[in-house]
Structure 1
Amino acid sequence: MAEHPAYPVGLRLTGRRVVVLGGGQVAQRRLPALIAAGGAIVLISPEATPSVEAMADAGEITWERRRYTEGDLTDAWYALIATGDGEANARASTEAERHRVWCVRADDADQATAWTPATGHSEGVTVAVLTTDVKGRDPRHTAAIRDAVVEGLRDGTLVARHHRARTPGVALVGGGPGDPDLITVRGRRLLAEADVVIADRLGPRDLLAELPPHVEVIDAAKIPYGRFMAQEAINNALIEHAKQGKSVVRLKGGDPYVFGRGMEELHALAEAGIACTVVPGISSSISVPGAAGIPVTHRGVAHEFTVVSGHVAPDDERSLVDWPSLAKLTGTLVVLMGVDKIGRIAETLMAHGRSPQTPVALVQEGTTAAQRRVDATLATVGETVRAEGVKPPAVIVIGEVVNVGLPAARAPKPSRPS
């Protein structure tokens, strides 16, 4: 047996008897996958780790608190032998051989009739890696190969496109605050599988360069105070390409539902009968301050934080923000899209009771290589923005947490795309 490689196969264990001998760390690692496979699992062990015991308490497994005895593997389809008693392991392995039960031994793989591969999962696919070198088995090497394959499938660097007919539709993907490494795993995978990408200016633009040549990229950049693609045109483009049977990704900055008009696009797609998936993204309201060394909350300093849009001034009749109430809060105020209105916002907050000395930080191009931070107070922020030439996109943080973060020399630096 030792001269031939193992034959890979997938066991279908739903409703079938699975026996696990030993309730230690090996069982703790292996049981979740056996439970997910639907096996009727019987654990035989006088003791178990707290995690394994919790599985028994939840009814996921049946736990018989005793040692192995002859006959425990009767009618079993699969057995995992992982006790600390070598003699008991050998007897159980012999019983498994006699009853033709596929058996994994944690203490002696060469005496087992089955090996557990290094496995991982990505969107309905299980990746299982087994070594073919039976004399030089290296579990760490197979695990490393498994990790590389799964990570590549998840982040889109290893693209395996579907060849059967796919259901056309749209994915509203939150791309995060700008650093391409901060898009979610699912978002990057969907981007790698797209036929059409309709991208915002604030999305992670570096990822577009990684797309295959056949992918159509449509620039839906909404440049402040300049050219823009009307929202209706964006909606129509999403619908048109999806109806052509294409996989469409709407790549947005931050999160689709945090001042991203994602719900408007979702409604338009629903009215057109287009299937849509929403992939949340890391919001700049939290991530950009964090990248600049500012926590939006800190024990003993702020018990709440409020995120508001500053795209219209406080005295504008279109504003839906209750600025007088915000001025009375003692926590952190995060303002998005408010660079050109920050002077009037500061005046309004001070007029309703917020101290002129309240710290303010403006973080421009947060999480990107161009990130910079400019500090001020409510009394000086309007003039500081003009003097320092702060431009959108910038996240504005108002509150005592501005002074809690690390000094600039020690603050974490944004990652650079490779």
Structure 2
Amino acid sequence: MARVVIVGAGFAGYRAAQALHRTLGAEAEIVLINPTDYFLYLPLLPEVAGGVLDPRRLAVSLTATLPGVRLQLGYVDRIDLATRTVHHIDPEGRAGAVTYDRLVVTAGSVNKVLPVPGIADHAHGFRSIPEALYLRDHVIRQVELAASTEDAEERAARLTFVVVGAGYTGTEVAAAGHLLTRSLLRRRPALRDTPVRWLLLDRASRVLPELRPRLSRSAARTLGRRGVEIRTGTSVSEATTGGVRLTDGRFVPTRTVVWTVGVRPEPLVDALGLAAVEGRVRVDEYLRVPGHPDVFACGDVAAVPDLTRPGELTAMTAQHAERQGKAVARNVAASLGHGSERPYRHRDLGLVVDLSGMKAVADPLGVPLTGFAAKVATRGYHLLAMPANRFRILLDWVVDACTRRQAVQLGLVRSPAVRLDTTQPATTPPRSPHAAVGSVAG
């Protein structure tokens, strides 16, 4: 019996495992290596940070939804292409190995950390449940500490929140965070007349540069009316314990820096010794690694040629990763004698950006939408894209619309565990967080 090993259970890995099992059934053993027993639906993380969704809603059980797939909990240590062996370390530190007939590398991506002084020590990323839970707790804590101090400068710094990166994630984090703080301040008489600042920074000339200008302007207007300060053409040049210095020379006192400037391919790529493009494994249009007919790669970790735009690569988005996961499953099955392979070619289905409250911007199938119509389209898209937990998510949305948000710290995640200099990719062992000290967002 052939064995197919899939490294990583993100959008690409999850869909690849699902489609392969449906196609091959009991004719092949499918092994999925992942450090957690769930697939994480990343696009809804800002709603966890904003206190709208329970984090469990975004965690889709791998064993429950992929019953025919063998889950191997662990971090990938190395891959020996010569002996077709994937070496891994389980959550208790024990080493193991599994051989393969076909390998699918879908290890995904990690936070992109630029060489900005202090950022690695004083900022936090936003690509995991721990990071979202930490940010929610941290924002609530800063509001509570601001309410208890008589020092005006300290209060202002604690009520200033800086989000670096105005792409999808950064824009949604700023939108959700601002509404959360507005809700928190209404419950604290001492802070009702105190201004709260959310700054959204980006070197680009506009927010959401991936969207058409009309939708970008609509998003900026929505955030601006709420009070979010948008600074385009501006980023952070230095982060310190007391705040951040911007590239325009101004210093902003703050205790919160959220880093969402983008992602980079998982560092596992570097250890494979394969040809790479911009840090991503080079693959052909069939998602196969040239020179290695038994190895495939897709998702953020792969440099997939965009057949709709000759000479360019597909973007590192969840939409591409999910489709490529299904495409690679078809081609892996074809390599084992089931069906025929096809090149990966996509049709852009449009993009959705949730601005919290009843606002959003979207362009499903190229139709530009703003306001409540976009909100309906956005939430509808997410419900359709979720592999499970749809009813629970819908119920959370209804409860949030009808009741006041709960505003208590859970205290489950502490700062050293999620700072950028200790955040690790999903497939390699994490470093100990105990060596980390001092943080703007502490």
TM-score range, shorter chain: under 0.3
State the TM-score, normalizing by the size of structure 2: 0.24
Higher helix share: 2
Higher RCO (C-alpha under 8 Å, 6+ residues apart): 2
Q: Which has the larger radius of gyration?
A: 1
